[in-house]
Chains A and B, each alone.
Chain A
C-alpha cells in the first residue's frame, strides 16, 4: 500500500476564520446618514454666519434665503475701517486681555498643580476641594462680590482687574488638569534632576514643564477661550468708554433696540472667530500625548 502526503492530512471542513461581521448595507447607510446629519448640525450655523457676513443688512434675513444675494466684502471693509465702532481697538483689547489671562492662569495653575501633585502640605485637600466648589457658582452670582473686590483693590475698570477675574474661573480648572498631567510624570524624574544638581524650582522649570507641554497647551487654550468670548464680566468690569471694550462687548453695537445689523454682526463674528481658530491650530500639535513614554522602563 502506498501513501501520499495528501492522504495523511486530516481532512477538515473548511472553516471560516472568526471575523468581525461585515456591516450590512442598510446599517452602513444609516451610520453614514447619522454622521452626516450630526456634522451638518455642527457646521451649518457657522456656515450660515459666513454666508450672512457677505450680505448687506437688508438682505440678511429673507423669506427665501439665498446663498448669494448682493454679497460683497462691504461689511468687512466698513468694520475694519472703524466705520462701525472702533473694532480694531476692541480687537487689541481682547487680544491683550486673553493673552494676559493665558499667561497668568497657566503660570499660576502650573505651579499650583505641581505643588499639589508632588508635595504634601497642610490644607492640600481643602484647597483642591475649594477649587471644585468655586466652579459650581453661576457667573451672575459672582458679579456683585467681584465688583466690590475690584473696587477695593482699585482695579475696577482696568484690564488687569478683568484678567484676575477670568483667572478665578480658569485657574481652578487648569490646576486640576495640570495636576493630573504632572501625576503621569514619574517622580523618579524629579529625583534624578535633583541629584543632577537642580533646585526644586529648576526641576519644575527644566524637566517637568517641557514634559507637560501637551497639558500646558490644553490649559493655555482653555484659558484663552475663557477670556476671549466672555461678555458678562467684561461688560461689568471694564469702563463703559468705547475704547476700553472687548470684542464680545463691542459686538453689541450691531444689535440695537429697533434693528439688528445682521450682516455686520456676522462679519464681525467671523473676524472674532479667527484668532480662536488660530490659537487652536497652534496648540493642536501638542495635543498629542505620549511625550512622556520612554522615561522609565517601557
Chain B
C-alpha cells in the first residue's frame, strides 16, 4: 500500500527534434486509489506507466512511491507488480511457477509460495491449471495468470498496461468488472492504462486524460463527463463523442442554422471579455432530442443519414447546415421510435445547462 506521485516527470526521446513523450507530468495518486491513465495512441500514457515501473528513464522531475523518491531505483527495488498487454508469461514455466517466480527470487520458502499461489489461483479460478504451461491456456486464462502473478507478490502498487485489449468484447466487459472488484477487495493502489474511455470511466476512481504527453485533466469520471476542462477531453470522454462545433456568437447566444441557442450570461461575458466572435459549442448526443415538427419550439433542421440502433436507444446521425457548411450531429433518441433514413427532423437542445463552451483556438473551457 502506498501513494504514488509524479513530480514534473518527463521522458524525452532523442531525435530531431527530441520528442517529449511525457511532458512535466504532475499527478498524485492516493493510497488504495484506482487511477486510470487514458488517451489516444501516442499520448504517452504507456510511457508514463513504464516510468513508474522503472522500465523507462525519467529524464526530468521525479517519481515517488510511498513518499520515497524512486527516480533512480531499478524496477526490482520499487515494490511494484505489472500486468503487461501481451501478458509476458514465462513460456518455460508452469502457471504455478509463473505466479510464484517473484516470491522465489525473494527467497520465500517453498511452502509459503505454494500457499500464496494457491490462494491467488482460487481467487482467479485457476486452480485446475496450475500445472499447465502458458501455451496450453486460452487468452482469458493467460490474462488471469498475468493478474495472479501480480497479486501473489502483494506489491505496494499494481501497474496495468491495457490488460484487456487482447480479450474478446464479452470477456473484456466481464474481466473489467472482475478487476475493479478485485482492486476494491485488495485495496492496493492501482495505475491502469487504457485507450478505451469506457474502461476508464467504469473502472477508475479518478481518470487522468493525456494527449501528446501532456496531462489534460485528472478527475472523477463524473466530473470529466460533466465538466471537461477542454475541447479535447470533451470529445474524448463519452460515447458517442460530444458534438463539438465552432459557431458564431451573437449578443444572446450561439448561432446555429438560423436559430440562436441562448447561452448563460456568464459564458457570454467571458466570451466578450476575450473578444471572441466565435465559440466552440459542445453538446452531448443525450442532451439533444428530436421534437415533433409541429412543435412551435425552435429547432435545428437535420437530415437523417444514419440510424444506429443499440436496443435501449438509438443514435441518429444527421447533417445540419451551419452557415455555409453542413455539419454532422449525433442525437441519442428512444430506441423504439427512431426516425427513418432521409427523414427531415427537428432537433432541439433539451437542457441549456448541458451546453459546454470552449475557446475556439486554445480549446479551454469558458464556463465553470
Interface of A with B (CB < 8 Å)?
Answer: 186, 188-189, 191-199, 202, 207, 210-211, 291-298
The answer to whether B139 and A196 have CB atoms under 8 Å apart is no
Whether the Cβ atoms of A195 and B91 lie closer than 8 Å is: no
Interface residues on B, range: 20 to 34
Complex Cα gap A238–B16 (Å): 55
- Say yes or no for B142: interface residue by CB 8 A criterion: yes
Q: Is the CB of B53 within 8 A of A298?
A: no
Min C-beta distance of B74 to chain A, whole Å: 7
**What distance in Å separates the Cβ of A82 from its nearest Cβ neighbour in chain B?**
46
Q: What are the residues of chain B within 8 A of A188 when measuring CB–CB?
A: 84-86, 88
B74 touches A194 (CB 8 A): yes
Q: B88, A191: Cβ atoms under 8 Å?
A: yes
B135–A186 touching, CB < 8 Å: no
Beyond contacts A188-B84, A194-B74, A199-B74: 14 other A-B pairs, Cβ-Cβ < 8 A, are A191-B55, A192-B90, A194-B75, A195-B55, A195-B80, A195-B82, A196-B76, A294-B89, A294-B136, A294-B137, A295-B90, A296-B87, A296-B89, A297-B166
Contact A189 B90 (CB under 8 A): yes
Taken together as a complex, chains A and B put the C-alpha atoms of A295 and B90 apart, in Å, by 6
Q: At the interface with chain A, which of B100-108, B246-254, B341-349? A: B100-108
B82 adjacent to A211 (CB under 8 Å): no
Is the CB–CB distance between A297 and B142 below 8 Å?
A: yes
Total of A-B residue pairs, C-beta within 8 Å: 84
27 CB contacts below 8 A, A to B, read A189-B88, A189-B90, A191-B53, A191-B82, A191-B84, A191-B88, A192-B88, A192-B89, A192-B90, A194-B55, A194-B75, A195-B55, A195-B82, A196-B105, A196-B149, A196-B153, A197-B76, A199-B76, A211-B92, A291-B91, A292-B91, A294-B89, A294-B134, A294-B137, A295-B89, A295-B91, A297-B139
- Chain A: CB-nearest residue to B155: A195
A295 to B106, CA, bound (A): 23
* Nearest B residue (CB) for A189: B88
| For the complex of A and B, 3 pairs with smallest distance between CB atoms | A294-B135, A188-B88, A296-B86
Which residues, 39 to 78 on B, are CB-close (under 8 Å) to A?
53-55, 74-76
**B105 to A, closest residue via Cβ:** A197
CB of B81 within 8 Å of the partner chain: yes
The chain B residue sitting closest to A199, CB to CB, is B76
The chain A residue sitting closest to B53, CB to CB, is: A195
Residues of B contacting A297 with CB < 8 Å?
86-87, 139, 142, 166
Verify if B227 is at the interface (C-beta below 8 Å from A).
no
Residues B101 and A196 in contact, CB atoms below 8 Å apart: yes
How does the 8 Å CB contact mask read for B253-294 relative to A, with 1 for contact and 0 for none?
000000000000000000000000000000000000000000
How far is A197 from B84 in the complex, measured between Cα atoms in Å? 16
Instruction: Tell me, yes or no, whether B8 is within 8 Å of chain A by CB.
Output: no
- Interface check B133, CB cutoff 8 A: yes
Q: Give B200-226 interface residues, CB cut-off 8 Å to A.
A: none
Question: Measured between alpha carbons, how far is A188 from B84 in the docked complex, in Å?
Answer: 7
Q: How far is the CB of B65 from chain A (nearest CB, A)?
A: 13
Q: Is the CB of B106 within 8 A of A197?
A: yes
Contact of B92 among A186, A191, A202, A291 (CB under 8 A): A291
B133 and chain A: residue at smallest CB distance: A294
Task: Report Cα–Cα, A292/B87, bound state, in Å.
Answer: 14
Bound together, the chains give a CA A210 to CA B92 distance in angstroms of 7
Kindly name the residue among B84, B90, B101 whose own CB sees the greatest number of chain A CB atoms within 10 A.
B90
CB-CB under 8 A from B76, the residues of chain A are 194-199
- Mask, B135-172, CB within 8 Å of A = 1, is 11101001000000100010000000000001000000
Encoded as 1 (CB less than 8 Å from any A CB) or 0, chain B from 91 to 116 comes to 11000000001100110000000000
Q: Quote the shortest CB–CB distance from B267 to chain A (angstroms).
A: 48
Q: Once the chains are docked, how many angstroms separate the CA of A109 from the CA of B10?
A: 36
| A297 CA to B76 CA, complexed, in Å | 25
Nearest CB in chain A to that of B150: its residue: A195
Select which of A194, A197, A211 is within 8 A of B91 by beta carbon. Answer: A211
Residues of B within 8 A of A210 (CB): 92
Chain B residue at minimum C-beta to C-beta distance from A295: B91
> What residues of chain A lie closer than 8 Å to B87, measured between beta carbons?
296-297
Distance from A196 Cβ to chain B, minimum over Cβ atoms (Å) = 4
Considering the chains assembled together, what is the distance between the CA atoms of A134 and B72 in angstroms? 40
* Complex-state Cα separation, A107 to B153, whole angstroms: 33
Residues of A within 8 A of B75 (CB): 191, 194-195
How many angstroms from the CA of A298 to the CA of B135 in the assembled complex? 8
